[in-house]
A and B are shown apart, each in its own frame.
Chain A
Amino acid sequence: MDFNDTPEEAAFRTEARAFLEKHLEPKGAKPLRQRISGEAFMREAKAWQKIKAENGFAQITWPKEIGGRGGTPMQQVIWNQEESQFDAPTGPFAIGLGMCVPTVIAFGSDAHKKRYVRPALTGEEIWCQLFSEPAAGSDVAGVKTRAVRNGDDWVINGQKVWTTGAHFSDFGIVLCRTDPKQPKHKGLTMFIVNMKDPGVEARPIHQASGGREFNEVYFSDVRIPDSDRLGEVGAGWKVALVTLMNERLAVGGSPGPDWAEIMDYARKAGTLGDTAFREKLADWYVAAQGYKLTKFRSQTALSRGETPGPENSIGKIITANQLQDICNEAIEMQGHYGLMVDEDTMPADALFQRSFMWAPGLRIAGGTDEILKNIIAERVLGLPQDVRVDKSVPFDELKQG
């Protein structure tokens, strides 16, 4: 038992770190309030993505033929660990490269791969995931957005919602209903859609947190050539599962303050001596450490070329809930003063307050707490599925609301 890299892994880590040091500043070098946002951030993010792609550090496990490094999953883990030590402008590409483009690679034609993979990899084109709808979130197979065949094209009408980044995306993968007479999982088909098409309208949604990162997206007579279909007609669910599987791999840790940050804050505030607080802090440490070490177990499997077990599925349930609790505790510790949100004057640049408003979203995005527990119960423990009233009935006869 040890935490050491193999000689090959160590060599890769050294190479990655040297590359990062050449291009970026270490995390925390710049105070939070000087960080950029909006279009300036996007410019920097695209520039960094391009540098990564040109040097073989974008999508390390992808084959070289399509612009990846042809590396191992463990190398990707090492890269992520190292990059997270630096002030790297990442983010806008995670959904595209982590979920959408892998789906295009799995189900698209050679022409698709030629056209779409490279510009996504270099950050020139951004992708979004158009699955959720007002009446289809957890139950994403319940989508109603219609695709109707017309000559060589499909005509799309309907509405998506919660689409992260749709307003700055160039392309998306959109899950549509092609046959409402079939049971819900059978009448679905997946397409590539050009987000700049005049029939596509993305309206940013004002989030509870105040930001506007996700969108409602309306489709009005948008024509998609049949050649931009991913997978067979009626096989959209199978395609969607591949995307969602990649999502489960992509999500896990939550950004934001953890036990170390609140301990640090309590020390400065002089409240670290409080017994009730110390007990909570111990619980947070144990759970956070438990998840961190669980990732090490999965990485051990990766490092040996094996498939990790299901243990990583505990991640988002732990981290999203803990983030919420830690922020809540920090605010209560600050008392009435803790209500204020000014980044220039509040302790820790108002990190606790900002994350407090983000945490509810993390418990929902990428699978809610309840859905993730169902997945553990059914797929890991082998317990029976919930009672389903929707599986064999034609979709257009189902209740919705």
Chain B
Amino acid sequence: MNFDFSEDQKFLRDEARKFLTAQCPSTAVRAVLDAEDITHDAKLWSQIGEMGWLGAAIPEEHGGLGLGMLELCVIAEELGRVLAPVPFSSTVYMLAETLKLAGSEGQKAALLPKLASGEVIGALALSEGPGEPDPASLSVRFEGGKLTGTKIPVTDGDIASHAVVLAAEGSGASLVLVDLNAGGVVRNPVKTLDPTRSHAELVFDGTPAERLGEAGAGAGLLGQLLDRVAVLLAFEQLGGASRCLEMATDYAKERYAFGRPIGGNQAIKHKLAEMYVKNEVARSNCFYGAWALSSDAPEMPEAAAAARLAASEAYWFAAKENIQTHGGMGFTWEVDAHLYYRRAKLLAVQAGAPKVWKEKLIRALETKNAA
């Protein structure tokens, strides 16, 4: 039994934590939060590029470090802890993983090296309106090499250089790649619950695009892609949830009411114990997702769904109860608790809300059982 990260991976985690604690304090996150015209922390983004993290799971032949998915999971958890205001997930979990999964040799060779070096920023454009986009009835269409229609919201859509778009093609759906800097795209910034990450509406009007994978294979490819994305996002969520538990625990020890620390009251103690239970459930499911992801295991569908669900639940609970534990202070702009509350929601609904993943999980279990 070796259900743990290796010594090297733990070393990477410690180094990443040191680096991010120094380079991404909450003042850096707040700089993005407070200024309307700042979309992300450009300095942190370039430092992350220099560290090689963007290419951690990209093969060396394509300019990456050629480490593995486990290393990427380690980095994801640390980025989640500090709410890093950079387009890492859009670029690495979404664009790079799509290229690895569905890109032609030419597409990989053209983009992965630039992605690893930080020249390319990615985005994944799925949503068109309330509810989950249904590959069978999309309004955005890809015909004759051109894309038409509107995606909203697209995380990092206003700063991305390349977007992966789910679009109708013929009677099916396809994944297509758009160079957003080549013109023919209108990007309208949109306000969201989490202003520490930028979002936009993307309006395509006969915009040139190229297909990723076969025509009509979009739904299947997207399913595989989202399983991978789910595990990586789950690690970010786990990092955020762990940080909330630490914040709430520290505050509960320091804050006195009725002559003693509020953490001496069972209403707070039991709440934080429940947070701990949920976080451990999330951590164990995340580890399993990481294992399935890194070993291309046939258990990937249920492992990814369980990691995502456990982490979404843990982060939601930890974020809301962290505010609650802070009392009136928790409801102020100055205390960081609301930053986690905001990020928890973004991470829970992008790439499929919990309801969607519950259904995916049960289907995966049904399929397994039928086999």
Residues of A within 8 A of B (CB): 1-5, 9, 74, 263, 267, 272, 278-279, 281-283, 285-287, 289-294, 296-297, 299-303, 311, 314, 317-318, 370, 372-374, 376-378, 380-387
Residues of B within 8 A of A (CB): 1-6, 70, 245, 249, 252-253, 260-261, 263-264, 266, 268-270, 272-274, 276-277, 280-285, 287-288, 290-291, 294-295, 302, 305-306, 309-310, 313, 355, 357-359, 361-362, 365-366, 369
Decide: A373 near B287, CB < 8 A? Known: A286-B309, A386-B264: no
Q: Is the CB of A1 within 8 A of B284?
A: no
Look across to chain B and name the residue whose beta carbon is closest to the beta carbon of A384: B264
Look across to chain A and name the residue whose beta carbon is closest to the beta carbon of B284: A293
Q: Is the CB of B365 within 8 A of A303?
A: no
Look across to chain B and name the residue whose beta carbon is closest to the beta carbon of A385: B264
Return 27 A-B CB contacts under 8 Å, by A number: A1-B2, A1-B5, A1-B291, A2-B295, A4-B1, A272-B366, A278-B359, A279-B355, A282-B309, A282-B357, A282-B361, A285-B302, A285-B365, A287-B281, A289-B306, A294-B280, A294-B284, A296-B1, A297-B287, A300-B2, A303-B1, A377-B269, A377-B270, A381-B245, A381-B249, A382-B249, A383-B249
Q: Is the CB of B306 within 8 A of A4?
A: no
Decide: A286 near B291, CB < 8 A? Known: A279-B358, A296-B284, A376-B276: no
Q: Is the CB of A314 within 8 A of B277?
A: yes
List residues of chain A with CB within 8 A of the CB of B276: 314, 376, 380-381
Look across to chain A and name the residue whose beta carbon is closest to the beta carbon of B355: A279
A125 CB → nearest B CB, Å: 34
Docked Cα-Cα span, A272 to B367, in Å, equals 13
Q: Is the CB of B269 within 8 A of A374?
A: yes
Q: Is the CB of B281 within 8 A of A291?
A: yes
List residues of chain B with CB within 8 A of the CB of A294: 280-281, 283-284
List residues of chain B with CB within 8 A of the CB of A385: 264
List residues of chain A with CB within 8 A of the CB of B285: 286, 289-290, 293
Docked Cα-Cα span, A5 to B1, in Å, equals 5
Q: Is the CB of B282 within 8 A of A3?
A: no
Look across to chain A and name the residue whose beta carbon is closest to the beta carbon of B9: A1
Q: Is the CB of B70 within 8 A of A285?
A: no
List residues of chain A with CB within 8 A of the CB of B6: 1
List residues of chain A with CB within 8 A of the CB of B3: 1-3, 293, 296-297, 299-300
Q: Is the CB of B264 within 8 A of A376?
A: no
Picked from B269, B273, B281, B366, the residue with its CB within 8 Å of the CB of A290 is B281
Q: Is the CB of B281 within 8 A of A318?
A: yes
Q: Is the CB of B358 within 8 A of A387?
A: no
List residues of chain A with CB within 8 A of the CB of B268: 383
Look across to chain B and name the residue whose beta carbon is closest to the beta carbon of A311: B280
Residue from B1, B294, B361 with most neighbouring chain A CB atoms (10 Å) = B1
Look across to chain B and name the residue whose beta carbon is closest to the beta carbon of A293: B284
Residue from A272, A293, A303, A386 with most neighbouring chain B CB atoms (10 Å) = A293
Decide: A377 near B1, CB < 8 A? Known: A1-B291, A386-B264: no
Secondary structure dominating the interface of B: helix
Decide: A74 near B281, CB < 8 A? Known: A314-B276, A385-B264, A387-B260: no
B224 CB → nearest A CB, Å: 20
Docked Cα-Cα span, A103 to B160, in Å, equals 65
Docked Cα-Cα span, A378 to B264, in Å, equals 9
Decide: A376 near B277, CB < 8 A? Known: A1-B290, A296-B284: yes
Decide: A318 near B358, CB < 8 A? Known: A1-B287, A382-B249: no
List residues of chain A with CB within 8 A of the CB of B294: 1
Q: Is the CB of B280 within 8 A of A289?
A: no
List residues of chain B with CB within 8 A of the CB of A293: 3, 284-285, 287-288
A252 CB → nearest B CB, Å: 13
A373 CB → nearest B CB, Å: 4
Decide: A278 near B358, CB < 8 A? Known: A318-B281, A374-B266: yes
Docked Cα-Cα span, A387 to B259, in Å, equals 11
Docked Cα-Cα span, A370 to B271, in Å, equals 11
List residues of chain B with CB within 8 A of the CB of A267: 369
List residues of chain A with CB within 8 A of the CB of B357: 282
Picked from A281, A300, A311, the residue with its CB within 8 Å of the CB of B1 is A300
List residues of chain B with CB within 8 A of the CB of A302: 1
List residues of chain A with CB within 8 A of the CB of B5: 1
List residues of chain A with CB within 8 A of the CB of B283: 294, 311
Picked from A291, A296, A384, the residue with its CB within 8 Å of the CB of B253 is A384
List residues of chain B with CB within 8 A of the CB of A287: 281, 310
Docked Cα-Cα span, A159 to B355, in Å, equals 53
Docked Cα-Cα span, A120 to B187, in Å, equals 76
Docked Cα-Cα span, A311 to B6, in Å, equals 19
Picked from B277, B313, B358, the residue with its CB within 8 Å of the CB of A317 is B277
Picked from B2, B263, B266, B281, the residue with its CB within 8 Å of the CB of A286 is B281
Q: Is the CB of B263 within 8 A of A384?
A: yes
Docked Cα-Cα span, A371 to B361, in Å, equals 33
Q: Is the CB of A299 within 8 A of B277?
A: no
Docked Cα-Cα span, A290 to B303, in Å, equals 11
Q: Is the CB of B273 within 8 A of A376?
A: yes
List residues of chain A with CB within 8 A of the CB of B266: 370, 373-374, 377, 386
A350 CB → nearest B CB, Å: 23
Docked Cα-Cα span, A287 to B306, in Å, equals 9
Docked Cα-Cα span, A341 to B280, in Å, equals 37
Q: Is the CB of A3 within 8 A of B1?
A: yes
Q: Is the CB of B362 within 8 A of A2?
A: no
Look across to chain A and name the residue whose beta carbon is closest to the beta carbon of B265: A386
